[in-house]
């Protein structure tokens, strides 16, 4: 169950979204590991808690990515706006 992102997750360490994308990948791995642990272990209550925490971490990572994209777009608009005002 992999989600598709727009723009796609980057693997370039020099890209401005690299840290956010890396956090999303790590959160997805934690969620996958928690789901696998639930399948193989009998402590269902603990597994549910771990899965819940992993999902919350993934949501936070996705929200941080959205905020970072908005910030980059706003900076680009301001930079583009100040350049055209000088003409």
Q: Is 69 a residue whose pLDDT tops 70?
A: yes
How many Å apart are CA 57 and CA 80, to the nearest integer?
A: 34
pLDDT digits (tens, 9 = 90+) for 30-60: 999 888 888 887 677 888 888 899 999 999 9
Residue 85 pLDDT exceeds 70: no
Terminal C-alpha separation, the chain: 50
């Amino acid at each position: 169950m992999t989600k598709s992102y727009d723009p796609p997750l980057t693997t370039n360490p020099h890209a401005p979204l690299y840290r956010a994308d890396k956090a999303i990948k790590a959160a997805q791995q934690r969620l996958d590991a928690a789901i696998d642990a639930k399948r193989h272990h009998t402590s269902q209550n603990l597994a549910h808690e771990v899965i819940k925490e992993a999902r919350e971490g993934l949501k936070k990572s996705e929200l941080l990515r959205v905020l970072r994209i908005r910030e980059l777009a706003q900076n680009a608009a301001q930079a583009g706006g100040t350049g055209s005002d000088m003409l």
